[in-house]
Amino acid sequence: MMRSVRGFTLAEVLIALAVIGVAFGALALTQVTNLRASVTAQTATETKAAANLVLEDILAEVLTTGDVSAGEFDFAYYYWNCPSSVTPPPGTTIVNPDPPLPCQGDRTINEDERSEVEVAYAIVGESGILGEGVLTITVTATHEASGQRLTIGDRVTCYDVYPSPTSTAPEPCPVPTVSGGGRP
């Protein structure tokens, strides 16, 4: 008894190859999309990390209780000198440093050539409730490779640095003006 061996026809093989090609094309497209999403997420993470790093550095500088006469600056110095000098109330001693303390500036954060992030910051004295000055710190980070931009900020009051008023220390904070500490 003889069996007939039947193979695939050319049309069946071409149809099978077309189905496989479409499936692999869809898989490749999915992989490319996932890769792009991963790169976007990575650059967003790098941008946010750089912005947070600079914001924390600036907050650490602003929140110190330094000896102004020794060249260390405290909350009151930033409050009265950022963004521009104003005349503080009578009895307040302000030491003007040489060079002046930067109330704004730029920093470059780069872990490698592909993840360079330019970060700009600004410190502004604002009015607050009576007896409580406010500093607003704004940080804008721009990822050089992707162009992603992120702006974050924080507000610091005098009582984040000094204790609340008591009978022994009735006014530890600079008294704000109507227009704010750093605004004439």
Residue 113 has pLDDT above 60, yes or no: yes
- pLDDT at position 182: 45
177/184 Cα distance (integer angstroms): 9
Residue 98 has pLDDT above 60, yes or no: no
SS (H, E, C) 6-56: CCCCHHHHHHHHHHHHHHHHHHHHHHHHHHHHHHHHHHHHHHHHHHHHHHH
180 within domain boundaries: no
Q: How many domains are there within the chain?
A: 1
Domain extent at residue 42: 10-160
- Beta pairing class for 134-143 and 149-157: antiparallel
pTM: 0.68
Q: What's the whole-number mean pLDDT along residues 128-143?
A: 78
Tokens of 120: 């700009």
**98 vs 117, more confident:** 117
88 within domain boundaries: yes
89 within domain boundaries: yes
Residue 8 has pLDDT above 50, yes or no: yes
- pLDDT at position 155: 87
- pLDDT at position 23: 95
47 within domain boundaries: yes
173 within domain boundaries: no
- pLDDT at position 184: 35
